Structure formats: C-alpha cells, structure tokens
Structure 1
Amino acid sequence: MIGKWRKRFEGTALGSGIVVDGERKAFGSRARPRLMMTMAVFLGLYAALSGRMIHLAMTDPEVGAGPASRVTASRPDIIDRNGEVLATDIKTASLFAEPRRIVDADEAIEKLATILPDINYEQTYNKLKSGAGFVWLRRQLTPKQQSDIMNLGVPGFGFRTEKRRFYPGGSTAAHIVGLVNVDNQGISGIEKYIDDQGLADLQASGLAQPKDLAPFQLSIDLRVQHIVHDEITQALTRYHAIAAGAVVLNAKTGEVVAMASVPDFDPNNPFNAHEKDRLNRMSAGTYEMGSTIKSFTTAMALDSGKMNLNSTVDASKPFRFGNQTIRDFHGKNRVLTLPEVFIFSSNIGSGHEADIVGLEGHREFIHRMGLLDRMKTELPEVARPTEPKVWKKVHSMTIAFGHGMSTTPLQTAVGVVALMNGGFLMNPTFLPRTRDAALESATRVVSQQTSDEMRYLYKLNATKGTGGSATRATVPGYRIGGKTGTAEKVVHGRYSKDVRFNAFVGAFPIDDPQYVVLSIVDEPKPEKPGQAATAGLNAGPLFSNIIRRSAPLLGVQPDFRLEEKPLLVSSQ
C-alpha cells in the first residue's frame, strides 16, 4: 500500500525532482522582497518611536508649553526683629498633564475628581481634550494629594517640584507680610516690597539662588504681634463690631513693632483675601478719627504761641458762626481752661482753638503733621487721606474735633509719636531703624515745650479723679496717657448717632514715652445691655489690654512707685 502511494506521488509533477526545485525558486524569489519590506517598515517605526523618546527625554519641560523658570524661583525668608520666621519657602508638588497621552479624558477627570473634588470639571476636561503637550491641572498639592493621584495610575499625569510660600504664623501678621501668587511672586505687603527692591529682577535673570538670599528682617516683634492680633480678635466678638485693629509704634525710632486688622485672612489659604471687609484698616482705610484729632488741635494752639495751659475759652453756650452751631456731647456749660477743653473733649473748646489760630494756620498745621498727605512707608497698601478741596471756616471748625477730614489710623498714631517724642515727625517703617537714623530723616513739627505739654495733657486725661476720658485705659504699674475718639459715621449722607468709629491713642511710659499704641473698633455695639458704646468703653480697654500683656516683652517693666508721683511740666 505504501509502495502504491509512493509510485503515484513520484509520477506527479510534485514528485519529480526538477519540478519541485523550480517551485522552490519561484516561491523564494517572491518571499524575500516581502520580508525585506516588512523588516524595513518595522525598523522605520522603531526608529521613529526611538527618536521621539530621545527627543522627549532631552527636552526641558520648562520650554514651550511648560512653566517658565521663574515658577520655582526662590524668595528670602522674612523674619521678625528677633529672628523668628514669618515667611519661608517650602518644596511642594504641582500636577500637570500631557493631553496627547491621555487615552480617556472622561475616565481621567472622574478619577481626578475623587482626589480634588473642587476641581473645575469643564475647564479641566477641555484641557485634557486639547491635545496639547503640557497643561497645569493643580499647583501646590499637599503630600497626601500627590500620593493619592499617583495611586490613580492615570497615564499622562505628572508632577513637578516647585517652591511654595509658607507662613508659620498664619494670619497673625498677614496684612504686614502680604502674599505671593502661584508663581512665588510678591503681590501685596512686604512680599511685594521685596520684589520691587530688586528680587523680581534677580528671579528673571536666574540669580535668585537660595544660598545667596539673606533673610529679610522686619521691625516687627512676633510676640507683640501675636498679642495685638489676639486682643483685636477678641474685641471683634466682645463688642459685636464689624472690624477692629491696633498698632504699636516705637516712639523713638518710628518703627512699627506690631500692627493688625481684623477681619483678615490666612496667607497659607488666601481664598478670601480680596474681600472688601478684609482690607488692612490701619493703613489702607481712611476714617474720620473723631476726638483723637483734638490732640493736634490742642497742640496747634499751644505751638502757635497764641494759647498756653492757662488760657481759657467760653464753653458756656454753643459756638455759633454763620448758620452753623457746635455743641458739646456732655457740656460743662462754663468757661474751660485749655487742659479742661482737652480732658472733657469739648467740641466747643476745640472750635475756639482752631478759630484763634485761623483757617490757614490750621490747614498748614494738619498738613505739617502728615495727616493729609499719602504716607510714605514700605507697605504698598496705603490709602490717601481726604480733605475739603477748599477750606472754609465750617471745615476748620469741624476738623478741629475730628469731623470733615479722613486719614488712616496709622498716620494718626505717627502724628501722636511726634507729639510725644519731643516734636519729631518720622515716616513709619517696617524695617529695623536706629534712633540716629530716624532723626536724620525726621522733621521737627512742634517745639520741645509743646511736646512736654501734650504729654502732661495726655497723662492728665488718664488720671483718676480728673474726669478725663482715658481713665478706663489705665494699666497698673505703667504711667500711660491718651485720648479717646468717638466718631459718628455717615449713613445715607447724614451722621448717625448709633453708628460709630471708635479709637484710642496713647503712650507709655508717659514721663518719657517709648511706645505709642492706637486701637480702633469699627461700629461697636454695647458690650452689655444698657451700656454705651463710646471709645472709652471699648477702644480704651483694648489699648489697656495690649499694653498690659506686651509691655514686659518690650522691656518696659512696671513700677508701682511711680503711681503717686506727679508729672512735672513747664507751663511757660
């Protein structure tokens, strides 16, 4: 059987050796070109993929669609006067995507939303579908967010290490230190000031290296700053106010030792920093400062030489001029000495003081004290004061007791520093400054005698038994002096008796003032039913609490022996 099939096979064309050999040659001649063509195609694809991978590996992600080099530019630490860190750089991860590698944008964004639920779905979806080579998805992730996104395993997602600004104190000094944007560039406060002083140019040129950036020191004392922030935060609640603030100034150098305003914001999460009620009211808000302005009216009268501590004014009846009438809140209805005008906060008496000096003299003095010009300091957020375009007698009379002009609380405190330190007006600074350096740029605005007499009046106003408005602001062991200011606010074009802006400004130790403190409480309500809501009941105690807690830290020790010693002053 086998032999039969063998014979049949050998008798066919396939079975002959010649025929089979010819078929092999024909088949081989056709297969070789195909094989070579297939190999060439695969080699070409491999070469293209390899070239692309090498190109991607060698390409700097910052070039083209990637972030610019300034994104990770360093910033110097900001420190307080004692070396405590107020702001520093930390490393953080930022999430980017390569949309060309995203296989399923719907699936990718659904997974990402489980980690970042607040992500803008539509905007992110459009980015992932764009086909671009690089897009940012979220800057400055937390370590947990980065870890969770990595675990999603989505191809086309990647991370880049960047610099993020971190503020250890949170909101404690937010308005002073300021903010940076997502690219680590200063946009407010001292952060912006640093950029304007040359840091931005260094970053742009790639020279802002961490090892070359020395810490940027401020005049702020973080311990006192914390006390101020804590006290105004408590006052905001205690007096049911819409805002509160305070500043502590070195009376010898003009340095800002502490300053805060609430409501404020957390610079580590500044989502609400631009809300209008969170502005820095101490330097970026202007207000009618009420009776605190009487400090300058009285100083003007004394410095003019037209009045002295023995001068008197008739406050037995309202002060009338033209169609206008000035009345006292709690009038004594009698002739008052100049010290009584001050401690009883007489509007009538202040009007007479301004009238004696004269309109032009009054306007010149207020400008001389720096109350009506835009303040010069390192902080960018500084408001411009307002005054009448043309001063008339009615303006002079009302400005004499704090209505009709608006200035910033910080400027008011700076003016009082000049009244307390011997008469030298100094631009406030947030940087360390010596006494000698301060005096070099200072301007004498009142005489030494006027300064001595104003210290006497400030102390008298805080002395128990005199009926002064500052008696509730006293601090046992410290000789303080000060002046209240309760200003009615304008509501619907008219002054409201129920809506107030309250302030208290004072100095300590009043014998030789080292520090000036000014506190404000905006639209306070009575602390308890039936109580009033004037400055002596809220801004005064706020002032007192700040001094009580901060004075020992500032090196001013209490001395209870001084409580009974009189303050001597020349009355010539």
Structure 2
Amino acid sequence: MKFGFGLPGRRKQAALNGHEPAGSEKPAGEMSFVGLRKKHGNKARNRLWMAIAGFVCVYGVIGGKLIYFGVLSGAEEETTGPAVAQLASRPDILDRNGEILATDIKTASLYAEPRKIVDPDETLEMLATVLPDLDWETTYRRLKGEQGFIWIKRGLTPKQQSQIMALGLPGIGFRTEKRRFYPGGPTASHILGLVNIDNQGIAGMEKYIDSQGLSDLRSVGLATGQSLEPVRLSIDIRVQHIVRDVLVKAMERYRAIAAGAVVLNVKTGEVIAMGSVPDFDPNNPVHALDKDRLNRMSAGTYEMGSTIKTFTTAMALDSGKFTLQSRVDASRPLVVGKQVIRDFHGKGRVLTLPEVFIYSSNIGSGHEANVVGIEGHRAFLKKMGLLDRMETELPEVARPVEPRVWKKVHSMTISFGHGMMTTPLQTAVAAAALMNGGKLIPPTFLVRTQEEAAKVAKQVTSPQVSADMRYLYRLNATAPGGSGKRAAVPGYRVGGKTGTAEKVVNGRYAKDVRFNAFLAAFPMDDPAYVVLTIIDEPKPEPGKFAATAGLNAAPMVAEIISRSASFLGVKPDFEQESEPAMVSAERTYD
C-alpha cells in the first residue's frame, strides 16, 4: 500500500498541463479555497484602483489650483498690485436733466516691487524715457529699498501704459484703479469740487456726498459701482456753461481780477447755475488751491455795496414806518460823529421812497435806518439770513462779518452797503425772499420741488412788502435815472439793483478800486429766478471814464438772461413791457 499527498496519475498530469480532465470535479474543500482567493483578490484590486483614483484626483486638484493661482495671480498682480485694496466706487453726479457731470473711469497706475528689481539704475533710466517728469532722486532711492510695494506713478494714460509694458522691466507692474472724470472740465468746478488720489471727496459736492454715508459704505466694502445710485443736482449744465462763458469774457473785457454769478430759483431755492472765475479743472487740479481760485460766491465775504439798499428799503417798508409815498430829506449830507454820509449823484432835495431806491441815495438809506433804529435794523438783516453762516450742501461757505457792537454809525453805513460783509450767494437767497411773497428758502444744490421747499420755507416779510419790492426792482430798470437799464432784456421784464462798493486798500476806502454787483430778478410780474453778478476790481473800458456796476455787472446779467431764459422755461412776453409809474416828490414818471 502506497501513501502520499500527490494527486492520482491522470489528474496530476492534467493539472500539470493546466486543465482538468473532462467530467472531473474538484473536491469541495478545494473549491472553497479558490472562491475565497478570488473574492479577496477582487477587493484588493478595487482598493488599489480606488487609491490610484483618489491620488489622481487630489493631485489633479492641487495641480489645477497651482496652475490657476499661478496664471490668475500673475494677472491680478499685474493689474491691481500685491496686497493693495481696490479703490471704492463713487456714484455718478448728474445735472437736473440727467447729463453726467462726474463719473468713475478705469485708469492704470504704475507700481514697483523693489525686491524683484535687478538693476535700479537701468529701470529708472528706462522709465524716464516714458515718464520724463519723474523725481529721479526720490524714485531711485525707493527702487533700491527693501519694500515689497511702492507707487511710481498714478493715473497713467493708455499710451504711457503701453510704452512701459513694451520695456519689459522686471519688478514693474500696473494696477487698474478708478479715477474721477469730469466731462465738463472747469465748467462747474466750484460746485462739483474734486477728489484726492484715492478717489475720496475733498471739496464741493464730492465732499458732501462722502459726508452723507459714502465714507461709511467704503469702510465696510459696500461702495461698489452697482450699489450706488446717481446723485442728481439742481444744476442745469446748459445754463452753467452760459454763466461761465459770460464770466470769462467779462473778466477779460473789464480787465477785472475775478467775476462770479448765480442763477437761483425763487420758488424752490434751487441753485440752477453758479460760477466763480478764475476757476480750475478738476481733471487736472494743479491750481485748485491757488489763492485766486477761491469760490467767491459762497466762500468769500464782501461789502455788497448798494445792493444792500434792497434790504434797507424792505426793512423800512416792513417796519410800518414807511410806505411808497413816504418822503425823505436828502438835501443835506448826514453827519454821524466824524462820519459824513453823502450821495454819489445827489439830487439835493426831498426824495420819495422809490426815488431813494432808484437814485441809490446813501443819505436816504441812512435816514431809513435811523428811523427803524439799531436793534430793528440788525434784527431785520438777521431775519433775512444775512448775518449768519448760510446752510447748504456746499462745504465751502463763509461766515458773514458784522461789527462786534452795533452803533449808530454802523447802522448808517451798513444801510448803504459798507461796514458789513456777506457772501454773494446768501445775498441772492435773501433777495429771492423779497421776490416770492416773503418766504426765505434755504438754498440747495440738489433737486427740490415746490412742495418740499414749502416745508423748509420761513415767512420773513409780508406779501405786500414783497409786492412793493418787485415794483421797485422793475422801476429801477425802466424809470429815467434808474441804474438797472443796462440789465434790461426785451420781453423778459428784468428788474434789479446795482451795487458799487469801494474796496479797502491799506485801511482806507479806495475810490478807484471797486467790487461791483447787480442783483436782478425776472420776469417781474411773477419772478421765477434771481440772477446776481459780481465783478472784482473792474477797469473802465477804452473810451470810458467810469467802471460802476451799471456799466459792467448789469450787462453781465442781461447776457445771462437773454441766453439762458429759453432753457429756464421763461417765454418772452412783449405785451407786458410797459413801465410802472414812479412816485416822485416833484412829478410822476409815466
């Protein structure tokens, strides 16, 4: 009997040949072993493939991210600069008709990463071929430093950016920034103001917009172009352009050092146009801080001359102590202490109240102030808003100047425009109250309806005083001897008051150095607008020997009205051009 662990002969041979004989069967134990081996082998292979797939996915994601950040980061760094936040957007500023006055545009700024610069000397020399105004010493010192990021030039032109890119300098890149653009250039510069290099408002309505919440939105990153609604101003850019054009030409024609004007809606207090020249271009504000670029209409205070007689006369009527039929003795100069008050072109006789106004009598105005009294005089001017700092959106507003203690001599001189200084804009605002029925309405540079104006208006005089002042304004432009004739525009029924103030030079009033103004309204049957012009130190035109307000400030008003009335919606009416009668101590003018 033989014992062994081998297979029988036939099966052993078949096994060696790699197959089983036909019809042969494996033992049950052997079959279980083979099944178990297959089962575990499949699981192992599945695990292997899963592991391979997992590694491929993980490394694929890592590789993709590396490629993504490598490409995108380079592009971002090229345009935005490393570790520097994007500038926040600003809302567009529109005029009352939707025309763009200010908007954001994209611009490129040049930066450097000194640590990546191989040769600072060569880099600076190459950059200077495109940017010749670079400060060599400062730029070179900064390029040699160890800082990670420095600015080289902000606000490049597309041409400059293209030329610098062509240089292929290592360590030099561009960042896309937002820059404020003003399509009208200097047309409304004093109203719009300007922004700094970081797109933050620093003057005018730009500064006002920041103060109304834009700065807070910027601080939390919510000031995006999509989230900001445009700001609509009360300005009509068409009228604004006319105003500035008239001012520029007047400065040249009368050889003055400055000129200004404002067009104000009498019924809403909206500033439709306001200009002061010399001005500046907010797109290139290199001269914005020059002394002569002051916004004289709101940020400058002046003795407004005889335009103040508007309020002296209104005060006299408002006091109840005078009427249009009242008479004032202007036959002799007034003497108050050492002060002697005379008329420029005195009539040397008793004048009616309208004659005091149209002949611009200093003596008559002094008598009116004397009758009303010091306290009543100051109280009326304060009620009209002429002694307090004006409240409006524009940040550049000066505080009026008045005597610390009012004495009789102060009241007398202030009655004809000397001894008190106020801003031209608030002079126009106070005059509007005398044209609209006696309601003082704070001025605004934003769109305002008559309903909204009524809520902030303050009744300062009676409607009858307002009607009397409208009569006197019209009379001054039509009656013989009236100083407002050169402001007349056929069909528009203009009325107003001149003001020629001598300026103080070396502590004394100089007779040949003047600050002139003309305060007008139209159409006088139902005034819609007040127009005030000023001209500083005008000279006589060739062939003339005088440079009073009637010869320069009044014609400026006439040109502004004649060119802008159609834009303002005022239609000419030649049927109402008749002249009002004037009450005279001698006779009545028809």
If the TM-score is normalised by the length of the shorter chain, which range does it land in? 0.7 to 0.9
| Cα shift at 1:55 | 13
- Equivalent AA in structure 2 for residue 414 of structure 1: V
Distance in 2, Cα, partners of 1:55 & 1:127: 28
Aligned residues: 516
> 1:478–1:100: structure 2 CA closer, same or farther, 3 Å change rule?
same
Aligned to 1:422: 437
Within the candidate set 197, 213, 225, 1:198 is matched to: 213
1:260 aligns with 2:275: yes
The Cα offsets for residues 41-76 of structure 1, whole Å up to 9 and x where unpaired, read as xxxxxxxxx99x9799599869x995652x521011
Query: Residue 210 of structure 1: SS of its match in structure 2?
Result: coil
Aligned to 1:310: 325
Range 144-153 or range 532-541, more displaced: 144-153
Aligned to 1:526: 540
Range 203-212 or range 84-93, more displaced: 203-212
| Cα shift at 1:136 | 0.5
Aligned to 1:130: 145
Within the candidate set 491, 501, 509, 1:495 is matched to: 509
Aligned to 2:248: 233
Unaligned runs of 5+ in 2: 1-65, 584-590
Within the candidate set 537, 556, 569, 2:570 is matched to: 556
| Cα shift at 1:323 | 2.2
| Cα shift at 1:122 | 1.3
CA contact (8 A) 2:354 2:582 kept: no
Distance in 2, Cα, partners of 1:422 & 1:452: 7
Distance in 2, Cα, partners of 1:164 & 1:440: 38
Unaligned runs of 5+ in 1: 1-49
| Cα shift at 1:246 | 0.3
Distance in 1, Cα, partners of 2:259 & 2:138: 40
1:363 aligns with 2:378: yes
Distance in 1, Cα, partners of 2:123 & 2:400: 54
Query: Residue 502 of structure 2: SS of its match in structure 1?
Result: strand
| Cα shift at 1:568 | 11
Within the candidate set 493, 496, 500, 1:479 is matched to: 493
Write the mapping of 1:132-171 to structure 2, written as runs, cut at 5 A.
Answer: 132-171=147-186
Aligned to 1:213: 228
Distance in 1, Cα, partners of 2:344 & 2:114: 71
Write the mapping of 1:151-550 to structure 2, written as runs, cut at 5 A.
Answer: 151-463=166-478, 465-550=479-564
The Cα offsets for residues 229-279 of structure 1, whole Å up to 9 and x where unpaired, read as 111011110110000010000000000000010000000000110001101
- Equivalent AA in structure 1 for residue 565 of structure 2: A
Query: Residue 186 of structure 2: SS of its match in structure 1?
Result: coil
CA contact (8 A) 2:474 2:580 kept: no
Aligned to 1:40: none
CA contact (8 A) 1:72 1:163 kept: yes
Query: Residue 221 of structure 2: SS of its match in structure 1?
Result: coil
Distance in 2, Cα, partners of 1:466 & 1:242: 32
Query: Residue 482 of structure 1: SS of its match in structure 2?
Result: strand
Distance in 2, Cα, partners of 1:412 & 1:66: 53
The Cα offsets for residues 453-502 of structure 1, whole Å up to 9 and x where unpaired, read as 00000000000x42100011100111010000000000001000010000
| Cα shift at 1:320 | 1.1
- Equivalent AA in structure 2 for residue 554 of structure 1: L
Distance in 2, Cα, partners of 1:488 & 1:330: 15
Structure of larger gyration radius: 2
- Equivalent AA in structure 2 for residue 521 of structure 1: I
Distance in 2, Cα, partners of 1:251 & 1:309: 24
Query: Residue 224 of structure 1: SS of its match in structure 2?
Result: helix
The Cα offsets for residues 349-385 of structure 1, whole Å up to 9 and x where unpaired, read as 0000000000000011111110110000000000111
Query: Residue 277 of structure 1: SS of its match in structure 2?
Result: helix
CA contact (8 A) 1:65 1:135 kept: no
CA contact (8 A) 1:376 1:428 kept: yes
Aligned to 1:46: none
Query: Residue 477 of structure 1: SS of its match in structure 2?
Result: coil
Aligned to 2:21: none
> 1:237–1:105: structure 2 CA closer, same or farther, 3 Å change rule?
same
> 1:446–1:94: structure 2 CA closer, same or farther, 3 Å change rule?
same
- Equivalent AA in structure 2 for residue 469 of structure 1: S
CA contact (8 A) 1:66 1:135 kept: no
| Cα shift at 1:529 | 3.4
Query: Residue 173 of structure 1: SS of its match in structure 2?
Result: helix
Distance in 2, Cα, partners of 1:206 & 1:104: 38
Distance in 2, Cα, partners of 1:501 & 1:74: 42
The Cα offsets for residues 59-115 of structure 1, whole Å up to 9 and x where unpaired, read as 9869x995652x521011000000000000001000000111111212211221221
CA contact (8 A) 1:511 1:567 kept: no
